[in-house]
């Protein structure tokens, strides 16, 4: 269809133009071809001199296979180990970055997260692009410069992801691979400005295009390209402009590479400082659920004693005053002391606080109803209690069918949830049983 449209447009253009206009267009096309011809010639012929110069400069590459091997080995360990790739606990256990852990002393996750992948296509796309570009760029810039670009771009990408969403597990080398694409762009620009035998010919771009195209296609379709990953591309490009000076004659100098990497580390430290101490809210929410279970159990025990004639209504009110309300107040105070709550989890904290406010009001109303034998007050307590439990249900983490078998850090960060007793499992309050005050 496209060919037919193209032929139709050519035919229409030929039919509606005069011979003089056709001659002018032909001359213009010839002039354009003179500018395009060198590029076409470069794409047509084998750049043997460039390949020979690369191999002569760096006969053996080390950094590229080492970086690729680390990612593949970690993937294999995840493949044969417990847990599923989609399980955040599995990714965290293998070195993925997660705000409450990374920002509380485990900063090494900014680097290890680069080598953790969430699936087969993920590791294949990243590894192919890494190897394809590494065969060229490691020989051109040197092992240290190439490895520093890869790790530096990946580290800053992980940090940027952490700043945007600290409660999502970050893994993968997308930012690092985009970083070496930025290094390639810097090499192309400097090679055109300062031509040399080490200038990358355009035919080389054609050869790396399939691996890079697969990488870009997978990254875009899987939603792995965002602002953090584009930051990795910029880091690689800037890094390349800094270390590319003189690479036509020799690999990037060690002092220049060390200085560039030191700047990347300083930027990382300065950017990470405001992110320290991100709180893990989920365990605190689970403590709130545990408090509800504990206080409800204490009151249920008092109800049983009341039914057996071992406790009066005044005694039940004393249980609420002396046991339940203090425990509830202690849990609320602990929630209020929680620092570093990420914005994504503020609704959970606000919902837990709403639960505390309503639950305290329900117990106080129940105390008044028990002490003064006011049935309407007991009914009011029931209504407020239902609202409190509804608020708790909205923030309560979903139940797990089975405990996850994973490393200790992951289990600490996301402990298994404790289920709140349902209304049916709890004895009805005195008002519902029509108990005599």
User: Tell me, what's the pLDDT at 36?
Assistant: 57
pLDDT above 90 coverage of the chain, percent: 51
Structural domain of 310: 281-413
Render pLDDT for 96-142 as a digit per residue (tens, 0 to 9).
999 999 999 999 999 999 999 988 999 999 999 999 999 899 999 99
Q: Which of 275, 297, 313 is the last residue of a domain?
A: 275
Render pLDDT for 164-222 as a digit per residue (tens, 0 to 9).
999 999 999 999 999 999 999 999 888 888 887 788 887 778 888 889 999 999 999 88
Overall average pLDDT of the 307-316 stretch:
91
Number of domains within the chain:
2
Q: Answer whether 293's CB lies under 8 Å from 355's CB.
A: no
Render pLDDT for 49-98 as a digit per residue (tens, 0 to 9).
777 778 888 888 899 999 999 999 999 988 888 877 778 888 999 999 99
Q: Is residue 35 part of a domain?
A: no
Is 236 found in the same domain as 133? yes
| pLDDT band at residue 374 under the 50/70/90 scheme | confident
User: Tell me, what's the pLDDT at 58?
Assistant: 82
Q: Which of 275, 304, 337 is the last residue of a domain?
A: 275
Q: Is residue 102 part of a domain?
A: yes
Q: Is residue 437 part of a domain?
A: no
Is 290 found in the same domain as 254? no
What angle separates helix 143-164 from helix 227-243, to the nearest 10 degrees? Answer: 150
What does the H/E/C string look like for the chain? CHHHHHHHHHHHHHHCCCHHHHHHHHHHHHHHHHHHHHHHHHHHCCCHHHHHHHHHHCCCCCHHHHHHHHHHHHHHHHHHCCCCCCCHHHHHHCCCECHHHHCCCCCCHHHHHHHCCCCHHHHHHHHHHHHHHHHHHHHHHCHHHHHHHHHHHHHHHHHHHHHHCCCCCECCCHHHHHHHHHHHHHHHHHHHHCCCCCCCCHHHHHHHHHHHHHHHHHHHHCCCCCHHHHHHHHHHHHHHHHHCCCCCCCCCCHHHHHHHHHHHHHHHHHHHHHHCCCCCHHHHHHHHHHHHHHHHHHHHHHHHHHHCCCCCHHHHHHHHHHHHHHHHHHHHHHHHCCCCCCHHHHHHHHHHHHHHHHHHHHHHHHHHHHHHCCHHHHHHHHHHHHHHHHHHHHHCCCCCCCCCCCCHHHHHHCCCCCCCCCCCCCCCCCCCCCCCC
Q: Is residue 248 part of a domain?
A: yes
Q: Is residue 206 part of a domain?
A: yes
Q: Is residue 295 part of a domain?
A: yes
Residue of 437, 284, 293, 312 lying closest to 369 (CA atoms)? 437
Q: Is residue 5 part of a domain?
A: no
> Which CATH number goes with the domain that contains 209?
1.20.1540.10
Average pLDDT, rounded, for the chain = 82
Is 349 found in the same domain as 270? no
Is 237 found in the same domain as 89? yes
User: Tell me, what's the pLDDT at 191?
Assistant: 84
Is 126 found in the same domain as 78? yes
Residue of 344, 324, 340 lying closest to 332 (CA atoms)? 324
Is 335 found in the same domain as 263? no
pLDDT at 1 over 80: no
Q: Answer whether 71's CB lies under 8 Å from 98's CB.
A: no
Overall average pLDDT of the 306-318 stretch:
91
Q: Is residue 32 part of a domain?
A: no
Q: Cα(41)–Cα(44) distance, rounded to whole angstroms?
A: 5
User: Tell me, what's the pLDDT at 409?
Assistant: 35
Is 380 found in the same domain as 349? yes
| pLDDT band at residue 45 under the 50/70/90 scheme | very low
User: Tell me, what's the pLDDT at 206?
Assistant: 82
Is 93 found in the same domain as 132? yes
User: Between the ranges 175-179, 279-283, 393-397, 429-433, where is the mean pLDDT highest?
Assistant: 175-179
Is 186 found in the same domain as 206? yes
Q: Which of 223, 252, 275 is the last residue of a domain?
A: 275
User: Tell me, what's the pLDDT at 399?
Assistant: 60
Is 257 found in the same domain as 131? yes
Is 309 found in the same domain as 263? no
User: Tell me, what's the pLDDT at 42?
Assistant: 46
Render pLDDT for 246-299 as a digit per residue (tens, 0 to 9).
777 788 888 888 988 999 999 999 999 999 999 989 888 999 999 999 999 999
Is 261 found in the same domain as 359? no
User: Tell me, what's the pLDDT at 370?
Assistant: 92
């Amino acid at each position: 269809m496209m060919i037919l449209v193209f032929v139709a447009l050519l035919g229409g253009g030929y039919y509606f133009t005069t011979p003089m206009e056709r001659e002018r267009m032909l001359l213009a096309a010839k002039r354009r071809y003179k500018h395009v011809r060198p590029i076409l010639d470069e794409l047509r012929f084998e750049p043997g001199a460039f390949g020979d110069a690369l191999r002569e400069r760096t006969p053996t590459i080390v950094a590229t296979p080492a970086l690729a091997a680390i990612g593949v080995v970690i993937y294999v360990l995840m493949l044969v180990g417990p847990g599923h790739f989609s399980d955040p606990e599995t990714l965290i256990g293998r070195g993925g970055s997660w705000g409450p852990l990374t920002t509380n002393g485990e900063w090494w996750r900014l680097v290890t997260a680069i080598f953790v992948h969430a699936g087969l296509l993920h590791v294949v796309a990243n590894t192919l692009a890494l190897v394809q570009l590494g065969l060229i760029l490691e020989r051109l810039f040197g092992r240290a410069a190439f490895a520093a670009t890869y790790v530096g771009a990946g580290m800053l990408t992980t940090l940027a992801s952490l700043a945007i969403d600290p409660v999502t597990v970050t893994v993968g080398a997308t930012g690092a691979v985009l970083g070496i694409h930025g290094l390639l762009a810097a090499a192309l620009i400097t090679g055109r400005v300062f031509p040399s035998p080490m200038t990358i010919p355009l035919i080389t771009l054609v050869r790396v295009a399939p691996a890079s195209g697969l990488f870009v296609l997978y990254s875009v379709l899987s939603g792995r390209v965002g602002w953090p990953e584009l930051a990795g591309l910029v880091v690689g490009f800037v890094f390349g402009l800094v270390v590319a000076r003189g690479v036509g004659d020799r690999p990037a100098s060690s002092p220049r590479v060390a200085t560039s990497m030191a700047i990347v580390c300083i930027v990382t430290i300065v950017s990470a400082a405001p992110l320290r101490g991100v709180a893990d809210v989920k365990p605190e929410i689970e403590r709130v659920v545990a408090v509800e279970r504990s206080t409800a159990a204490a009151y249920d025990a008092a109800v049983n004693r009341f039914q057996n004639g071992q406790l009066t209504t005044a005694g039940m009110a004393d249980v609420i005053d002396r046991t339940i309300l203090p425990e509830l107040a202690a849990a609320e105070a602990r929630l209020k002391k929680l620092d570093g709550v990420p914005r994504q989890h503020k609704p959970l904290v606000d919902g837990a606080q709403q639960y505390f406010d309503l639950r305290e009001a329900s117990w106080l109303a129940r105390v008044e109803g028990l002490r003064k034998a006011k049935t309407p007050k007991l009914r009011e307590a029931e209504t407020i209690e239902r609202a409190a439990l509804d608020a708790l249900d909205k923030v309560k983490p979903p139940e797990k069918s089975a405990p996850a078998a994973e490393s200790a850090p992951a289990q600490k960060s996301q402990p298994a949830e404790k289920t709140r007793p349902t209304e049916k499992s709890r004895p009805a309050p005195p008002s519902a049983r029509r108990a005599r005050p």
